[in-house]
Amino acid sequence: MLSDVTSQSQPQRAKVRTVKTIELKQPGIPLWRQISNVLDREITDGKLKPGAAIPSEHELMTRFDVSRHTARKAVARLREQGRINVSQGRGAFVREELLQYTVTERARFAKDIRQQGFIAHNRFIAAKKLPATAEIARLLKLPTRGQVWRLAALSYVDGVPVSLGRIFHPVSRFPDILEKREAEPDLAAVYAQYGIKDYTRLATWISTRVPTEAEATLLQIDVLDPVIVSQKVDVDSTGAPIEYNETLFSGRNVRLHFPATDLSETWGLVSQPPKISRTILD
């Protein structure tokens, strides 16, 4: 519960400072936790809307008349609860609804995002031809040290970076794929230029980790925010591998959906996924 408290006027002061403090109605509950509860209610009630900036530490210090340490702990608790996202250099923001990417045999990220009403685009930040490592050669069924393209790309949705990918293509089959991919955002259309009418996902591996500082900077997330690591191999209609891809998705912004059967879409599970609990221990 908030109450207005006006400080007593001092003879030597010309101004009277007005601040808001929290009345400790429940002894034993830390002040930082009560502040986070106030902000949590404001998010739930819609006073702080999805995407809105959370008050800065200085603003919280002034509003609640607390120390920087207390304000910082209150914000940290909201972050731990998944109520806010922290972006390096930008501040803290109320968490928006998760972007859902449905992974199927013929998953197409850009198409999937467009169908949700968003605008998606890629920005290639690095490209190099190099001999394949033994692991990449195995995944793409290439001779040892066979030449591959290694591309690095940031994917944006409505201007916000949501994934960072490292992509490998056989050079022998795709000698100028960088130019084609930069000119054409639809990968299926790019493959069509090489005579590939259809392609499917052979396998997908999912894991998690925390990002490096460079990765977090590019994704505009905190270094402690988890990332989803998706590794996949795509093949053409003859079963020949055409791409190996390792992509980091922001765990705070993206949810991956793997429908087990066609009933998933029939039941509306694609468009209306279940809500995620803030904690399994409630």
Domains annotated on the chain, with CATH: 2-94 (1.10.10.10), 99-266 (3.40.1410.10)
**Mean pLDDT (whole number) for 210-218:** 92
Q: Is the predicted pLDDT of residue 14 greater than 50, yes or no? A: no
**Mean pLDDT (whole number) for 58-78:** 90
Where does the pLDDT of residue 158 fall: very low under 50, low under 70, confident under 90, or very high at 90 and above? confident
Where does the pLDDT of residue 200 fall: very low under 50, low under 70, confident under 90, or very high at 90 and above? very high
What's residue 276's pLDDT?
59
Where does the pLDDT of residue 268 fall: very low under 50, low under 70, confident under 90, or very high at 90 and above? low
Question: 29-38, 71-80, 84-93, 231-240: lowest mean pLDDT where?
Answer: 84-93
What's residue 101's pLDDT?
84
| Per-chain mean pLDDT for the chain | 83
Q: Is the predicted pLDDT of residue 21 greater than 80, yes or no? A: no
What's residue 17's pLDDT?
40
What's residue 70's pLDDT?
93
Q: Is the predicted pLDDT of residue 84 greater than 50, yes or no? A: yes
Top pLDDT among 35 and 85 is at: 35
pTM tops 0.85, yes or no: no
For the ranges 8-17, 36-45, 239-248, the maximum mean pLDDT occurs at: 239-248
Tell me the DSSP string of the chain.
-EEEEEPPPPTT-S---EEEEE---STTS-HHHHHHHHHHHHHHTTSS-TTPBPPPHHHHHHHHT--HHHHHHHHHHHHHTTSEEEETTTEEEEPPPPEEEE--TT--HHHHHHHTT--EEEEEEEEEEEEPPHHHHHHHT--TT-EEEEEEEEEEETTEEEEEEEEEEETTT-TTHHHHHHH-S-HHHHHHTTT---EEEEEEEEEEEPPPHHHHHHHT--TTS-EEEEEEEEEETTS-EEEEEEEEEETTTEEEE--SSTHHHHTTTTTSPPPPPS-TT-
pLDDT in tens, 36-48: 989 988 888 889 9
Top pLDDT among 265 and 132 is at: 132
What's residue 134's pLDDT?
93
Top pLDDT among 1 and 203 is at: 203
